[in-house]
Structure 1
Amino acid sequence: MRASLIQIAVDEGESVESRRVRAASLVRGQAGADLVVLPELWTTGAFAYEEFAAEAEPLEGPTYEAMAKGASDAGVWLHAGSIPERDPEGPLYNTSLVFSPSGDLAAVYRKIHRFGFDKGEAVLMGAGRDLVTVRLPGTTLGVATCYDLRFPELFRGLVDAGAETLVIPAGWPERRRAHWTLLAQARAVENQAFVLACGTAGTHAGVPQAGHSIVVDPWGEILAEAGADEEILTVDFDPAKVAMTREQFPALKDRVL
C-alpha cells in the first residue's frame, strides 16, 4: 500500500480559499497512491483560535466539495485532515473527513480530546463522542486527531474495533516535537499497528509547527519522516505486517484491562 502524507504549510499571508485550492491540487497530484492524508485544521491553522468561528463551514461546505473532487480526480482514499465544522444545531467541532476514491464521504470523525485546557479549542469547540474506523482494501483505518495522540485508551478502543493502521492528522507545535515522535512510536508499538501521523509546516498564529510527519511500523520502526518545511512524504508499506506482528508477538492477547 502506498500512502502520501501532505505536510502542507499554513502561511498567514495565504487566504483559506487559496490554500483550499492548492491542497486540492496537491491531492490530485497523488494519483497512484492508495491513501492520501492532510493535516489537522489546515484551512485556518490549529492555533488560529480567533479564525475558527469566522472560517467554520457546514459539513458539506467548500472544503468538503474540494476534497471530494480531489479524491475522485486522483482515484485515492483521502483523509482530508480536519476543518472547523459549524453544526447548525450545536457548537463548532474539529471534524475530520474521509473520502473514497469515488469522492463519496466514507467517514466523519469529530475530535474527542480538545487541546487548550481552559482556552482555545477546549472552550471554542465541542467534543466528539464516537470512535471511527474505515475499512479500506487491505487494512482498516483507525481515525484520531492531534491531541488524541496523548490518550492511549482511545487507540485501544480503535484496535478493539478492528483498526490496523492509525491515521493521525495534527497541528503539532515545534516546541513539543520530541513528544510527537515518541508518542507516534508508542502508539504503534503498544497497538502493534502502523501509525501515519501527518502534521503541518509553517506558523499558526505565531506558533511554529513541528512538521516531521512520520510513518511508523508495528514494531515501532520509523519507515519515513519528513522535515520541517512543506513536503509530501510518500511511503510504501505492507498492511499484512500487522497480522504477522500480532501473531509473532501476541502481547495484545495478554491484556487484562
Structure 2
Amino acid sequence: MSRHLRLALVQAPAETFEQFAEGLRTRMKSPNAADLVVYPEAHLYSLGIESLTEEEIYEAHAEPLDGPRGKALGALARELGIWLVPGTVLERDADGSVYNTAVVYNPDGELVASYRKIFTWRPYEPVCVGRDFVVFDMPGYGRAGLSICYDSWYPELTRHLAWMGAELVINVVQTPTAGRAQEIPVNQANAIVNQVWVASVNGAGPTAHGRSILVDPEGHIQVAAAGMEDVTLTTVVDFDRVAAARKFGTSGDSWPWDHFTAGDTPLELPLYNGRIDPATWRPAISRETPDALRPTAPVVFERPAEESGDE
C-alpha cells in the first residue's frame, strides 16, 4: 500500500486566530484540502507585534500548550479531520519561561508533538532555547520531524531528525529578510545529504519573503512559491521515496547512510567532543516502510531523543 500524503503549505501573512480558523475551513472545502496542513512560524502571534515591547508580546500571546489557544487548535483539527501544524506559538511553561514552539495536532484533535526552537535567531529572537529533537509518527504514512526557521542553517538538527527516523522534515519559517535566498539551497542540501523530504513554508508579504518549497529526498524542488504572494501550495508526499533513495541511491549512485561498515573504527569528531560510531550510523526507519524497501541490515525503529548518531 502506497504512503501518499496530501500536503498543503499555506504561505500566508500573519493572521488573528479568527482569520486563521476561517481561512483554514475555507481551504478544506476547496481544491486545497489536504491530510496535513502547515502554516508559517509565528503565524498566530506576529501580526502587529512590531509596535509592542517584549513584555507586551508575551502578555498577549504566551500561554501553556494546554491553555485556551491549544484547546481551540485541537478542536479545529478535530472538526476538519486533519493533521495540523499551525506554525509556532509562544509557549509559557510552569516556571514562566517562554519558548517559540512548533505544535502538531492529529485528526482527533490531540497534541501529538511539540518542539521548542533550538537555534533561535539571536539577538533578534530573545525567547528561551529548546534542547530536544522532536519526531512524531503519522499512522498510515510515516514519521516526520520538526524544524523552525534558522534551525535549517545547522545541519546537525536535520541530521538528528533523519537519524531518529524522520522521512519528512517540516521547517516552518518567518523570514522577512533577503536571507530567504540562502534558505532555499540550505533546505535542498538538508534533503540531499539526509535523503528526506523537506517542506519549508515561509510567511507571505508583507510579513515575510515567501518562496516556500517542498524538496524531495534527492534534492529536487517539487513545488515552490515564486515570490511573496499569499498562496496555498498543495502537493503529494510519497514517503516511500525516502526508502527508495536509500536503497537504490540518490541519482542511483550515492548512499550516504551506508558509508560505514562493521569493520570501520569510530570517526572522532573534535568539534562535538564525540564521534561517529559505525555501529549506530544507520537511521531508524518507520514501521510503515514496505518490506521490499527496508535495508538488509538489522532495522532500528526507535531512536531515543537523548541519543545521537554523530556524537
Q: The TM-score by the shorter chain falls in which range?
A: 0.7 to 0.9
Asked if structure 1 preserves the Cα contact closer than 8 Å seen for 2:217 and 2:245, the reply is yes
Q: Deviations over 1:133-159 (max 9, x none)?
A: 010122200111001000111111111
Letter in 2 for 1:52: I
Q: Deviations over 1:211-242 (max 9, x none)?
A: 11110001111110123121111111211100
CA RMSD, aligned part only? 1.9
Q: Indicate whether 1:39 and 2:43 are aligned.
A: no
- 1:102 paired residue number: 108
Asked if structure 1 preserves the Cα contact closer than 8 Å seen for 2:194 and 2:256, the reply is no
Identity of aligned residues (%): 36
Q: Deviations over 1:151-187 (max 9, x none)?
A: 1111111111111100010101241121121111111
Moved over 3 A (4+): 46-52
- 1:30 paired residue number: 28
**Structure 2: runs of 5 or more not aligned:** 250-254, 261-266, 268-275, 277-311
Q: CA deviation at 1:38?
A: 1.0
Which of 151, 155, 161 aligns to 2:158? It is 155
- 1:13 paired residue number: none
Letter in 2 for 1:239: F
Q: Deviations over 1:15-73 (max 9, x none)?
A: x6xx2112122333336411111111112229847353232222123432332122112
Indicate the structure whose relative CO is greater, using CA pairs within 8 Å and at least 6 residues apart.
1
Letter in 2 for 1:3: L
State which structure, 1 or 2, has the greater radius of gyration over its C-alpha atoms: 2
- 1:210 paired residue number: 209
- 2:137 paired residue number: 135
- 1:120 paired residue number: 124
Normalised by the length of structure 2, the TM-score is: 0.73
Structure richer in helix, relative to its length: 1
Which of 227, 251, 257 aligns to 2:256? It is 251
Letter in 1 for 2:6: R
Q: Deviations over 1:64-113 (max 9, x none)?
A: 23321221122111112101112231411001110000111111111111
User: How many residues are matched?
Assistant: 242
Q: Give distance in 2, aligned partners of 1:120 and 1:86.
A: 19
Q: Give distance in 2, aligned partners of 1:225 and 1:120.
A: 27
Structure richer in strand, relative to its length: 1
Q: Give distance in 2, aligned partners of 1:63 and 1:221.
A: 37
Normalised by the length of structure 1, the TM-score is: 0.88
Question: Any idea what SS the aligned residue of 2:86 has?
Answer: strand
Asked if structure 1 preserves the Cα contact closer than 8 Å seen for 2:153 and 2:183, the reply is no
Cα distance change, pair 62–225 in 1 and its aligned pair in 2 (3 A):
farther
Q: Give distance in 1, aligned partners of 2:163 and 2:137.
A: 14
Asked if structure 2 preserves the Cα contact closer than 8 Å seen for 1:196 and 1:214, the reply is yes
- 2:6 paired residue number: 2
- 1:169 paired residue number: 172
